[in-house]
Amino acid sequence: MIDIPDELIATQYAYNGAAGRAFVAALPGLAGRFLEEWGLRRDGPSMYGMCALVLPVVREADGVPAVLKLQLVDEETAGEPVALRAWGAAGAGAVDVLGHDPGTGALLLERLDEGRPLAGVARGAGAVGVAGAAGVLGVGVGGGVVDVAGMRETAGAVGAAGVADVADVRGAVGVLGEVLARLVAVPAPEGLRTLGGAVERMLAAAPETVGRLADASERRLLADCVAAVREVAGEPGDRLLHWDLHYDNILAGRADTGRAGQWVALDPKPLAGDPGFELFPALVNLFDAGEVVWRFDALTEAVGLERDRGRARAWTLGRVLQNAVWGAGTGGHRMVPEHAGIARRLLAAG
């Protein structure tokens, strides 16, 4: 029996319409198919995030702990196996992809310790169980299904810092910076979506998005973001970007896979682009208005952009613009307060 949580069903119905309904309907059959074809045994409660169902499993042939990830293939998720393999081949600490079915997008991935996210450690939670992690992350546990939002489902060694080395959020920023530096050092493989394409769409939608905002100060602020993005749009970059690297998308490795004491990244939505476009998630996750500029400076130094802060700032403002465009597309008339706060502080810092 495969548990499909109501939250995952609601998300798929709301954001993916008919395709989401078809995906949900197919999940039990997909799970059964790949459990059999890949010789897997269930090994714990189901996990889920915004777009995927993840089943902890053991590969029966060799006893390797893994996870079976089932998600709807779209523009954001299609490049995940490509990116993970590229990082792995470059020795950047990517997850070991144990299996992939191109037709359905099903992935068999090495397992992480889903109870030890970097976010939880930064809050002083330390090593916690699955239920404890869910509580730390503000999500629910029930009905045999665990929501560990952000999909703590993969494993790949990234960095040598141990869990005990992170005492607070600033320590977590340092770990994330080390992880990010390794990932963006890898050139993007051919065929991934590109930042250049995303920028074209953002700038095309910008006039309408600015005009929809109800607050005059937010209209001026977003116009400043548009102007900054226009200055860098001609050089979108060619690095392999994760796009969603925040503190809940970095977990501790598992001792039984030889990754004890290592921090590992997961759940990329990859694209080819400039590393400056990667900084925003680490600013808005675990948000602290007084720490925005400090975090920005620490991250630009970590990825080698300390001498080009202006470009990094412009691409970070591009993330603010991208989110505002998405918000307008769902009928929003205000900027997310944290996003506006990040933009104001970076613009004021110069």
Catalytic site positions: 244
Amino acid letter at 198? A
Task: Give first-to-last CA distance, the chain, whole Å.
Answer: 56
- The number of CA neighbours under 13 Å toward the Cβ of 215 is 11
How far is 330 from 310, CA to CA, in rounded Å?
31
Residues 6+ apart with CB under 8 A from 341: 287, 289, 292
| DSSP code at position 336 | -
Query: Which two structure tokens, joined as six digits, stand for 84?
Result: 């993970």
Distance CA 169, CA 315 (A): 23
For 203, the token pair is 């700038």
| Phi-psi map region of 320: left, alpha, beta (phi>0 left; psi -120 to 50 alpha) | alpha
CA 223, 227, 230, 236 dihedral sign is negative
Contacts of 3 (CB under 8 A, 6+ apart): 45, 46, 143, 144, 145
Half-sphere exposure of 117 (CA within 13 A, CB side): 28
Output helix, strand, coil percentages for the chain, rounded to the nearest 5.
Answer: 50, 15, 35
3 state DSSP class of 322:
helix
Contacts of 287 (CB under 8 A, 6+ apart): 338, 341
- Length of the chain as a residue count: 350
